[in-house]
Amino acid sequence: MRFRSSVAGFTIIEMMVAVSIAAILLLVAAPSFKDASLGSQLRASADELMASANLARSEAIKRNAPVTLCVSSDGANCGTDGWQQGWIVLSGTTVIYSRPQAPRGFVITASSGATSLSFQPTGVGATAAIFTICRATPSAGSQERVVTIDASGRASVKRTTTGTCA
């Protein structure tokens, strides 16, 4: 009697084909993942800026005193450079909230070049402002977030795909 043993498994060719297919799928999926990751980071930064504006507005109403949202690199004093270095919500000399700098390579610009916004005790902002949040390096993404703070002090976020980050 002869017994034939059969061994179940993969041949080297089958394994190479499976690994090749997996590599092709990974190459196709990687750009989509990077784009989704960029969108998530932009959304988080835009939401943080909008939340800070809402906080400044509500604190002005609550404290019945002017509250300022301004650029700050040290988390304690208002600065003069871009918003990507971070910002603070300030009532008099008291820091209510401090936001560290944006993710590396991100640029946050105010359309008017403003480095601070003041909210009056009524909650009304001094002027309207439009902020653009985008990634400039290592490569400019095709997505942006635009945070609009209207003259009444209300903030909103809109997604755009102009990809004009400078």
Residue 89 pLDDT: 94
93 in a structural domain? no
Residue 51 pLDDT: 92
Longest dimension (CA), the chain: 99
**Which regions in the chain score pLDDT beneath 50?**
none
Residue 153 CA to residue 78 CA, distance in Å, equals 20
110 in a structural domain? yes
47 in a structural domain? yes
Residue 166 pLDDT: 57
25 in a structural domain? yes
In three state form, how does the secondary structure of the chain look?
Answer: CCCCCCCCCCCHHHHHHHHHHHHHHHHHHHHHHHHHHHHHHHHHHHHHHHHHHHHHHHHHHHHCCCEEEEECCCCCCCCCCCHHHCEEEEECCEEEEEECCCCCCEEEEECCCCCEEEECCCCCECCCEEEEEEECCCCCCCCEEEEEECCCCCEEEEEECCCCCC
137 in a structural domain? yes
22 in a structural domain? yes
In the structure encoding, which two tokens stand for residue 147, read together?
């945070």
pTM for this model (two decimals): 0.74
Per the structure, how many domains does the chain have? 1
Residue 151 pLDDT: 82
What's the chain's length in residues?
A: 166
80 in a structural domain? no
Q: Which domain holds residue 36?
A: 12-64+101-160
Residue 81 pLDDT: 81
Residue 11 pLDDT: 86
Q: What is the CATH number of the domain that holds 111?
A: 3.55.40.10
